[in-house]
A = this chain, B = another copy of it.
Amino acid sequence: MSDPNDLGAFLDEAWQHLERGVADAKSPARLPTFATVSPGGRPEVRTVALRHAARAQSVLEVHTDIETPKIAALRVLPRAGLHIWLADADVQIRISADVEVLTGAEIDDQWARVPPASRVSYGTMPVPGTPIPSVYAYEKPSERSRFAVLRCHMVEMDLVHLGTQHRRAIYTAATDWQGTWVAP
């Protein structure tokens, strides 16, 4: 292992996991949990798929159907918490982010890269969460206008490594990701 006191190496490791999550559908970092606050004021969490990670911009991207409750939540409070637990590495990544909801022509590039088989994730009728009379009483057409990208501008990253002695560090955009060790 590298020097356990190396804050930069710890952050590098987290970014490697995030980048692997984008590149490798089998990586545990592929499926973060994504927390928002509902318009009624309740914390809500669901699995999402990580689609893009850009360290230079401190940005992560997730795709969603514009008709899901998380969009309604983000319209009221455009903030999210992301969580990844990497069991093999014994590392927990927690991210706090400000979220931009992108739609329309500005996400033509992202849409072009969505595999045809995955496009049915955008357009379910009736819209997700609507009560239906029986288990399969819905259809999944592909609807370009329902596609949205959640661009998550990272504000803080909180890393924990569970070892013989735990290590925990917090990095913030405000300090240009310099980081500090904190009590775990």
Count residues of chain A with CB under 8 A from any CB of chain B. Answer: 49
**Other-chain contact of A82, B5, B45, B167, B184 (Cβ < 8 Å):** B45
A47-B85, A81-B43 known; A181 and B96 CB under 8 Å? no
Q: Does A119 contact B (CB under 8 A)?
A: no
Say yes or no: B37 contacts A44, CB within 8 Å. no
CA distance A131 to B133 in the complex (A): 54
State the number of copies, please: 2
Q: Does A63 contact B (CB under 8 A)?
A: no
CA distance A131 to B183 in the complex (A): 7
Say yes or no: A83 contacts B182, CB within 8 Å. no
Interface residues of A (CB under 8 A from B): 4-5, 31, 33, 35-37, 41-47, 77, 79-83, 85, 92, 94, 96, 124-138, 165, 167-170, 180-184
